[in-house]
Amino acid sequence: AQSVAQPEDQVNVAEGNPLTVKCTYSVSGNPYLFWYVQYPNRGLQFLLKYITGDNLVKGSYGFEAEFNKSQTSFHLKKPSALVSDSALYFCAVQTGANNLFFGTGTRLTVIP
């Protein structure tokens, strides 16, 4: 069975500092991993995904994520945080039936 863990409910970072939002997963077979962002009162926006190939995946708005097979992690990163990055971030794993199983979400607050 697939599962996704986001160990931090809340991450605070100062504007301009690098940010990391953590995600670990458990899947059988090859993992297909996704990050989505949810701004206040909005839907889920796709940020990036890892399917195969290069472990460092680049996505929208300057975000990137690093797939680490040995640590079963897929942490979301950005070199320099913006106040506008404040949102709820969800890590997700694609199930065998091609649906998405989501983590519990991490609320990112970027402090001016």
Applying CB under 8 A, which residues contact another protein?
30, 32, 34, 36, 42-46, 49, 51-52, 90, 92, 94, 97-105
Q: List, in sequence order, every beta strand (DSSP E) within 23-105.
A: 24-26, 33-38, 44-50, 56-58, 64-68, 73-78, 87-94, 100-102
By C-beta, is 82 or 100 nearer to another protein? 100
Least distance in angstroms from the C-beta of 112 to another protein: 25
Least distance in angstroms from the C-beta of 99 to another protein: 5
User: Residue type at 63?
Assistant: F
User: Residue type at 22?
Assistant: K
By C-beta, is 57 or 81 nearer to another protein? 57
CA angle 67, 73, 74 (to 5 degrees): 50
Least distance in angstroms from the C-beta of 43 to another protein: 4
Torsion region of 47: left, alpha or beta (phi above 0 gives left; psi -120 to 50 gives alpha) = alpha
By C-beta, is 97 or 112 nearer to another protein? 97
Least distance in angstroms from the C-beta of 32 to another protein: 5
CB contact at 8 A, 3 and 92: no
By C-beta, is 81 or 93 nearer to another protein? 93
